Amino acid sequence: MLAIIGGSGLTTLSNLDVSHREVVRTPFGEPSGALVFGRICDQPAVFLPRHGYGHTIAPHMVNYRANLWALHQHGVSGIISVASVGGIRADLGPGVLVVPDQIIDYTWGRPSTFFEGPGKPVTHVDFTEPYDGALRARILEAARQLSIDIKENAVYAATQGPRLETAAEINRLARDGADIVGMTGMPEAVLARELNIPYAAISLVANHAAGRGSSLHGIQFASLETVLQESMGRVRAIIETVVGCPQACQPLGLSV
């Protein structure tokens, strides 16, 4: 059973045929919301809104450990993370879909490991390749089958939030090698790795990052929701195909 964690623009999963919701308790507190179980194209799946129902939890306040532990308790076979990002690289403008392959972590103060506290052993996990290669390949193949253009390599810069970045900070991220910027990629990815859950991301570019393109003199918030709504249908179609929906494997042009 695949899990989908939805971010800004994907607070519900409309193509999930819901069977039940479950409130989960974990040793790390409460997840962002109830887990929503159901089927996508007759295949089991579970959905969790990262920011809560109603988008009320800021990126730095998300209980990432509780979210990941709750999914782990239910034996998910993999996690697809969906999140909006800012585009730093010139070819990553509003509406572009990206499957990142690397992360640079600029967050601070977020509980970022399950291995801490009395009696817990010091544990190191390999994080050379932060995203699962096989799950990334499934996402990219689904997009190819659907004739959806998607970028397959990008470095995700995870910043603290909730404020957006200054133009100078974006310039610094670019010098560091970052291509997109978001606020929720870490510690979510490393916690999945600690639990041995395959994890990959679909990033939707909602806007040019600060100081670039249409955001040269400021982020145009009024246009963000339009970009998210116009692009999320492609994300849902990709998820359907990854989960295992044969009828979704055709070029877009149909309603999704």
CA distance linking residue 34 with residue 25, whole number of Å = 10
Specify whether the CB–CB gap between 226 and 184 falls below 8 A. no
122-152 b/e (C-beta count within 10 Å ≥ 16 → b): eeeeeeeebbbeebbebbbebbeebebebbe
pLDDT tens readout for residues 144-194: 999 999 999 999 999 999 999 999 999 999 999 999 999 999 999 999 999
Position 125 scores a pLDDT of 96
d(CA 191, CA 172): 26
C-alpha 212/C-alpha 85 separation (Å) is: 14
33-61 average pLDDT score: 92
Which of 3.40.50.2300, 3.40.640.10, 3.40.50.1580, 3.10.20.30 would CATH assign to domain 2-248?
3.40.50.1580
Query: pLDDT tens for residues 199-244?
Result: 999 999 999 999 999 998 988 887 888 888 888 889 999 999 999 8
Reported as type and span, the H/E element at residue 68 is helix 64-73
Q: Name the strand (E) or helix (H) holding 45.
A: strand 43-49
**pLDDT for 253 beyond 50:** no
pLDDT band at 255 (very low <50, low <70, confident <90, very high): very low
CA distance 25 to 83: 24
pLDDT at residue number 252: 47
> Tens digit of pLDDT for each residue in 77-86?
999 999 999 9
Kindly tell me if the per-residue pLDDT of 91 is higher than 60.
yes
Q: What is the pLDDT of residues 102-137, one digit of tens each?
A: 999 999 999 999 999 888 888 999 999 999 999 999
What average pLDDT does the segment 2-13 reach? 78
Domain extents in the chain: 2-248
